[in-house]
Amino acid sequence: MTSEIDLSCRNINKTFDDFIAVRDVSFEIPRGSFFSILGPSGCGKTTLLRMLAGFLEPSSGDITIKGRSMLGIPPNKRPVNMVFQHLALFPMMTVAENIAYGLRRRKEKPAEIKRKVADALERVGLPGVGDRAISQLSGGQKQRIAIARCLVLEPDVLLLDEPLGALDLKLREHMKVELKKLQQAFGTTFIYITHDQSEAMVMSDNVAVMNSGRFEQVGSPQDLYYNPSTAFVAGFVGESNRFSGTVVSRAGNIVEVKTECGQHLHASERVDLNLASGQKVELFVRPEMIHLSREPQQSTDNSMTGQVENILFDGGNSRLLIRETSSGSEIQVVHPQTSEFSDINKGDTLFLSWKADQSHVFLDTNERGEA
Ligand SMILES: Nc1ncnc2c1ncn2[C@@H]1O[C@H](COP(=O)(O)OP(=O)(O)OP(=O)(O)O)[C@@H](O)[C@H]1O
Ligand SMILES: [Mg+2]
């Protein structure tokens, strides 16, 4: 991968009448990388992708691909292709005819088309299925054909709008890995939109977390997970225990918070927040960051005592639901699959602890004064 920029957006806005669907979005995507846009339903993902593809014009801002502005350039003249959520394969054509469709429209030579189609089928791992009808393929195979049909046109950028949405869970898990491999094999820049954080995290070099039309944070999956920059990102990416409370004091970047349930907790603050006493905040700690013990802990930044209320078995992702004794609040902790905890029962008392820098504190979303 080079660091050459394939696609960049500068201050993109899109309004529908007086509704702002995309607000002031800027980003750059290096050539050959896998970039995901992750956000809840209605946050503006498809609107943004349609602007990149050329089906919608931005209300303001600029989009460049390989340094050339795309404003006013129709979809078929842009070096991009789009894979839609509800894939649009032609059911009356064979697999090979589907893949050849775009090449025929470009009036490429029949021998050349035949070679490219066979090559594309090979590369998506389905050699020899060219003569089959679309109805003779499984959901995952159809998805790969839809992608082959785009990749055969050798776009600089491939746009994918929730392409795994229609597949069942098992197949989605499989296709996640397949898609990442395909992207690496072709070396094409992928822009992938999804509301599924696990899809975005597994496949991407970089992820933009989108909320209400805005990019909240752009970063590597590790960045988003370990250093979320807003409460929204902390809550949306991965699992977290969330506490609402008020700032009591601070020492350096460690903030003491009194929660609504009356607990006193300590968390690290991102340098740019400058939280002050009395401000309403949200505090996050991930279930796997909490240390469990059967004995009371030496004084740590955060400690609690609670009873096991439920054991949620899910293999390596098993959780304990713990009801804190003094406040009654519920906390999820990863269930360590070690012999020490293998005989744990409902009602057992456990001691919980974690360090301040293993949890994050943000200004309460409602206090951020958003329009
Ligand atoms: N042509 C349009 N006219 C008016 N409003 C629109 C139009 N297209 C989209 N919107 C609105 O813009 C917002 C963003 O829509 P968009 O389709 O981009 O969301 P999304 O993030 O793709 O959601 P989903 O995950 O459900 O597909 C929504 O509130 C939607 O109702
Ligand atoms: Mg959408």
Closest residue to atom 16 of ligand 1, CA basis: 44
Our answer on whether the CB atom of 42 is closer than 6 Å to any ligand 1 atom is: yes
> Is the domain of 161 the same as that of 81?
yes
Residues in the chain: 371
In a domain, 163, yes or no: yes
In a domain, 286, yes or no: yes
* Six-digit token string for 240: 């977290």
The β-bridge partners of 257 are 247, 265
pLDDT at 206: 97
In a domain, 199, yes or no: yes
Residue pair 120/151 in contact by the 8 Å Cβ criterion: yes
Closest residue to atom 3 of ligand 1, CA basis: 16
Q: C-alpha distances in angstroms, 147 versus 251, 317, 327?
A: 53, 32, 52
Distance of CA 358 from the midpoint of ligand 2 (Å): 34
pLDDT tens digit sequence for 132-184: 999 999 888 888 898 889 889 888 899 999 888 777 788 788 888 888 988 98
Closest residue to atom 27 of ligand 1, CA basis: 41
Cβ neighbors of 347 (< 8 A, separation 6 or more) are 307, 308
> Is the domain of 353 the same as that of 257?
yes
Residue type, 349: T
Query: Of 231, 252, 274, which marks where a domain is finished?
Result: 231
Closest residue to atom 8 of ligand 1, CA basis: 47
> Is the domain of 177 the same as that of 316?
no
pTM of the model: 0.88
What residue ranges in the chain does DSSP mark as E strands?
Answer: 5-16, 19-30, 34-38, 60-65, 68-69, 80-83, 157-161, 189-194, 206-211, 214-219, 241-251, 254-259, 264-269, 280-285, 291-293, 302-312, 319-324, 330-334, 349-354, 359-363
In a domain, 368, yes or no: no
> Is the domain of 76 the same as that of 107?
yes
Closest ligand 1 atom, residue 49 Cα: 18
Q: What is the CATH number of the domain that holds 267?
A: 2.40.50.100
pLDDT at 272: 75
Distance of CA 214 from the midpoint of ligand 2 (Å): 15
Closest residue to atom 4 of ligand 1, CA basis: 16
Q: Which residues of 339-361 are buried (b: 16+ CB within 10 A; e: fewer)?
A: eebeebeeeeebbbbbbbebbbb
> Is the domain of 210 the same as that of 279?
no
| CB burial of residue 10 (10 Å; 0-12, 13-18, 19+) | middle
pLDDT(84) > 80: no
Look-up of token digits 């896998």: 34
Distance of CA 46 from the midpoint of ligand 1 (Å): 7
pLDDT at 367: 64
Residue pair 351/339 in contact by the 8 Å Cβ criterion: no
Rg (CA), the chain: 25
Give the whole-angstrom CA distance, residue 273 versus residue 160.
35
Our answer on whether the CB atom of 47 is closer than 6 Å to any ligand 1 atom is: yes
Distance of CA 361 from the midpoint of ligand 1 (Å): 31
> How many domains are there within the chain?
2
pLDDT tens digit sequence for 237-292: 999 999 999 999 998 889 999 999 889 999 998 767 889 999 999 999 999 999 99
DSSP string, 27-50: EEEETT-EEEEE--TTSSHHHHHH
> Is the domain of 224 the same as that of 258?
no
Q: Which of 13, 20, 23, 46 to mutate to test the pocket of ligand 1 (most atoms within 8 A of CB)?
A: 46
> Is the domain of 196 the same as that of 322?
no
pLDDT tens digit sequence for 289-347: 999 999 988 778 999 999 999 999 888 788 999 999 988 899 999 988 887 888 899 99
Our answer on whether the CB atom of 195 is closer than 6 Å to any ligand 1 atom is: yes
Give the whole-angstrom CA distance, residue 32 versus residue 359.
34
Our answer on whether the CB atom of 45 is closer than 6 Å to any ligand 1 atom is: yes
Q: What is the CATH number of the domain that holds 79?
A: 3.40.50.300
Q: Which of 16, 194, 236 to mutate to test the pocket of ligand 1 (most atoms within 8 A of CB)?
A: 16
> Is the domain of 108 the same as that of 66?
yes
Query: Of 205, 231, 257, which marks where a domain is finished?
Result: 231
Cβ neighbors of 35 (< 8 A, separation 6 or more) are 27, 29, 189, 190, 191, 192, 204, 205, 206, 207, 208
> Is the domain of 73 the same as that of 136?
yes
Give the whole-angstrom CA distance, residue 237 versus residue 123.
32
Distance of CA 112 from the midpoint of ligand 2 (Å): 36
pLDDT tens digit sequence for 29-83: 999 999 999 999 999 999 999 999 999 999 999 999 999 999 999 998 999 988 8
Closest residue to atom 9 of ligand 1, CA basis: 47
pLDDT(88) > 80: no
Our answer on whether the CB atom of 16 is closer than 6 Å to any ligand 1 atom is: yes
> Is the domain of 203 the same as that of 296?
no
> Is the domain of 183 the same as that of 296?
no
Our answer on whether the CB atom of 43 is closer than 6 Å to any ligand 1 atom is: yes
pLDDT at 87: 67
Range of the domain at 20: 5-231
In a domain, 106, yes or no: yes
> Is the domain of 114 the same as that of 243?
no
